[in-house]
Amino acid sequence: MSISVERQAEFAWVTGKLLKYGAEQGYRFRYGDAWRSTDLLKCPHCGNEHNYQDMLFFNGRSKKQYSLHSDRQAVDFIIDRLDGVPMTDSDWIKLGEFWEDHGGDDWGGRYGIEKAHYGSQVGWDRGHFGMR
């Protein structure tokens, strides 16, 4: 899938808003996984060519065969509270809802959760923030 430069710039802008808001609320952000290259690399074991997302999917490290990371439209953050208290579902929901309210439309905290439980439960990829 090809994404426009304008959409990538919008993603960067919304990500900046999230980082600023999170810092103001007492959170520290670290990058987990951001851009995933689609370059094909030869596997030393089988000799076939695979890209990074294919390998993640094959090895069970991703539940999706295609990812917005490949279009520079998603980032996985590792987020901590500056007060040292472990992150709670409420913390993740606060950040995820901010993301959605400011232009983001793909928050991994929604994955696997029924819409009726959005305000009280967090899905399996809580640190994922993306834009479709």
Q: pTM of the entire structure?
A: 0.85
Neighbours of 103 (CB within 10 A): 14
Domain span at residue 10 reads 5-34+72-130
CATH number of 116's domain: 3.30.1380.10
Residues 6+ away with beta carbon under 8 Å from 50? 40, 41, 43, 58
Considering the domain architecture, whether residues 53 and 101 belong to the same structural domain is answered as no
Same domain for 100 and 126?
yes
Amino acid type, 25: Q
Query: How many residues does this entry show for the chain?
Result: 132
For residues 28 and 41, state if they share a domain: no
User: Among residues 22, 48, 67, which one ends one of the domains?
Assistant: 67
Among candidate residues 84, 76, 107, 106, the one with its CA nearest the CA of residue 94 = 107
How many structural domains is the chain composed of?
2
From first to last of its 132 residues, the chain has per-residue pLDDT tens of: 456 899 999 999 999 999 999 999 999 999 998 887 788 888 888 889 987 777 887 888 777 776 788 788 999 999 999 999 999 999 999 999 999 999 999 999 999 999 999 999 999 999 999 998
**Domain co-membership, 116 together with 93:** yes
Give the pairing of strands 74-81 and 49-50: unpaired
Report residue 95 as tokens.
């950040």
Judgement on whether residues 107 and 48 belong to the same structural domain of the protein: no
Distance CA 69, CA 49 (A): 19
In this structure, are 80 and 28 located in the same domain?
yes
